[in-house]
Amino acid sequence: MVDQNELRKRALRAYEFGRLRMSSRVLLFLLPLGVACVLLSDNRIVCALLALLIGGLAVVLRWLHRRGVEAVEIGLKAGMLPLAVSIALMQWGHSSSPALTISACSAAGALAGAWMGYQLGRARAGIPVWLASAIVALAAAALGAMDLGAGGLVGLSASYIASVAVAGSVGRFRAMQLARNG
């Protein structure tokens, strides 16, 4: 006869292992990205620690809840534009024009934040999803902006947060209007 408790434990173990496997798939994207940023950065140790933090955070958020999967996906997508701009600025010699660096980082942060805010507003995501997405996106953007100095990081972060708030409000308002009319 099969012991019901043992069967239940095996089923739960298989379920949790499956969730962990699904959550860990994000590392297939994050590991090469982290390695590339570490190789391109002058602050390799800090960059490597930030890459490990992002990977761990992404896996844990995806494992905890289904909305965590959405939060990580939106956060990573929103962080890619500032990350790419930051890496380009690092490679083109950002030190010659700090004003250009701050302006480019601020513009990339504003665009990424507006996109993310609109997506989360449309999805009517709760505050935990907003916070998780913002943390993932800002950490991913900071991964590329590690060598740009405080001005680039502050400009990127401030414009990102401001545009998330504005676009999120617009997206939420628009979603509520559509729900009322349709």
- When pLDDT is cut at 50, 70 and 90, the band that residue 39 belongs to is confident
Enumerate the domain spans of the chain.
4-181
Residues 44-81 pLDDT 10s: 888 888 888 888 889 888 888 888 888 888 888 888 88
pLDDT score recorded for residue 150? 63
What residues contact residue 62 under an 8 Å CB cut-off, 6+ apart?
A: 22, 23, 26, 68, 69, 72
What was the pLDDT predicted at 93? 66
pLDDT band of residue 133 (cuts 50, 70, 90) is confident
Structure-block tokens of residue 141? 């953007």
Q: What is the pTM of this model?
A: 0.76
Distance, in Å, from the CA atom of 55 to the CA atom of 118, rounded to the nearest integer, reads: 25
